[in-house]
């Protein structure tokens, strides 16, 4: 049995089905690269695994170390060792980053960590992500640049010591040096036998973290689950080969604007 097992997972947002039967197993020590065109359900999958309330699971199952994940609260999932570094972390004015981090750390411990020990590990983790210590103590993500928000997600990951680290476009908005910093942390955590599920559009990050497998999600389903050579292929050729070789047509993301104008055209047609 895999560490994380997802079977026939269907999930919707606002009544629209996004995930249409995802099957995926992640084992100990694996680093799985997750690719796919925009709008096909990558972030939705990670959010559903973590338990974001916006998404409704309509069918299928997720188990982690044999336990039913879907019946757990977000908190319980975090305590069991699931972690999500978000694509767009939100700003939470009025909550200090260090208070947030400390309560997250405490939620995974029997006895609360002492102030001294907490600041010691916070200081070490800030150095590891090359983040100025004052950022670690400011309001959570407030006024952070895109790159600082991403480093802060990695800082959380270091402090929480999860068993499965899910990272959603952690490299977007990072310059080359910052990508190296993030990759160094990931390499270190891989050596601690943590598993990773990493979404990225860029081969650069994957070159640095050496995924053991690559999966591709199209139209809410896993259409490729295989060796990491797929990453290079997508990097150089795009997704066209999936259409020609696998016969899978790739639905284009509908921009909201189009939906509105199509809708209003239809309404105008209807009232003519």
Ligand X SMILES: Nc1ncnc2c1ncn2[C@@H]1O[C@H](COP(=O)(O)OP(=O)(O)O)[C@@H](O)[C@H]1O
* Residue window 125-164: x/- pattern of binding to Mg ion, with contact defined by CB under 5 A: ----------------------------------------
200 contributes a contact to Mg ion by CB under 5 A: no
Cβ pair 107, 79 in contact under 8 A: yes
- Member of 31, 43, 141, 190 binding Mg ion (CB under 5 A): 43
Partner from Mg ion, ligand X, none binding residue 13, C-beta < 5-8 Å depending on class:
ligand X
Partner from Mg ion, ligand X, none binding residue 126, C-beta < 5-8 Å depending on class:
none
Partner from ligand X, Mg ion, none binding residue 44, C-beta < 5-8 Å depending on class:
ligand X
Q: Residue 63's closest CA among 104, 24, 32, 17? A: 24
Q: Which is nearer to ligand X, 118 or 239 (CB)?
A: 239
Give the burial class of 39: count Cβ atoms within 10 A of its Cβ; 0-12 exposed, 13-18 middle, 19 or more buried: middle
Residue nearest to Mg ion (CB): 43
The residue ranges of DSSP E strands in 118-244, in sequence order, are 139-140, 164-168, 195-199, 213-218, 221-226
- Mapped onto helix, strand or coil, the DSSP state of residue 10 is strand
Partner from Mg ion, ligand X, none binding residue 54, C-beta < 5-8 Å depending on class:
ligand X
Integer Cα distance of 90 and 62 in angstroms: 26
Partner from ligand X, Mg ion, none binding residue 211, C-beta < 5-8 Å depending on class:
none
Q: Which is nearer to Mg ion, 30 or 168 (CB)?
A: 168
What is the Cα gyration radius of the chain? 20
Residues that bind ligand X (CB under 6 A): 13-14, 18, 36, 38-44, 54, 253
What six digits make up the tokens of 263? 């809708």
Minimum distance from CB of 120 to ligand X (Å)?
A: 36
- Looking at 1-9, 29-37, 41-49, 133-141, which segment touches Mg ion (CB under 5 A)? 41-49
Q: Which is nearer to ligand X, 17 or 76 (CB)?
A: 17
Q: Which is nearer to Mg ion, 29 or 39 (CB)?
A: 39
Residues 6+ apart with CB under 8 A from 187: 208, 209
- Looking at 25-33, 35-43, 186-194, 202-210, which segment touches Mg ion (CB under 5 A)? 35-43
Integer Cα distance of 66 and 80 in angstroms: 12
Q: Which is nearer to ligand X, 41 or 85 (CB)?
A: 41
Integer Cα distance of 268 and 21 in angstroms: 36
Question: How are the residues of the chain apportioned to helix, strand and coil, as percentages rounded to the nearest 5?
Answer: 40, 25, 30
Residues that bind Mg ion (CB under 5 A): 42-43, 87
């Amino acid at each position: 049995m895999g560490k994380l097992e997802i079977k026939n997972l269907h999930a919707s947002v606002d009544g629209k089905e996004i995930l249409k039967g995802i099957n995926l197993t992640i084992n100990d020590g694996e680093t799985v690269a997750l690719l796919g065109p925009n709008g096909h359900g990558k972030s939705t999958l990670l959010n559903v695994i973590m338990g974001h309330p916006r998404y409704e699971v309509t069918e299928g199952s997720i188990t982690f170390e044999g336990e039913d994940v879907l019946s757990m609260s977000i908190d319980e999932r975090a305590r069991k060792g699931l972690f999500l570094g978000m694509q767009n972390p939100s700003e939470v004015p009025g909550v200090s980053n260090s208070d947030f981090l400390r309560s997250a750390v405490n939620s995974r411990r029997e006895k609360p960590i002492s102030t001294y020990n907490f600041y010691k590990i916070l200081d070490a983790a800030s150095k590891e992500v090359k983040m100025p210590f004052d950022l670690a103590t400011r309001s959570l993500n407030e006024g952070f640049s895109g790159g600082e928000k991403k480093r802060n997600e990695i800082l959380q990951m270091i402090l929480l010591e999860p068993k499965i680290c899910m990272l959603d476009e952690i490299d977007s908005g990072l310059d080359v040096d910052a990508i190296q910093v993030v990759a160094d942390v990931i390499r270190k955590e891989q050596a601690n036998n943590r598993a990773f599920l990493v979404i990225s559009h860029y081969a650069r990050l994957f070159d640095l973290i050496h995924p053991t497998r690559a999966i591709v999600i199209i139209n809410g389903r896993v259409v490729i689950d295989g060796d990491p050579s797929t990453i290079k292929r997508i990097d150089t050729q795009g997704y066209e080969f999936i259409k020609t070789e696998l016969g899978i047509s790739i639905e284009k993301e509908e921009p909201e604007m189009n939906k509105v104008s199509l809708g209003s055209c239809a309404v105008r047609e209807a009232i003519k």
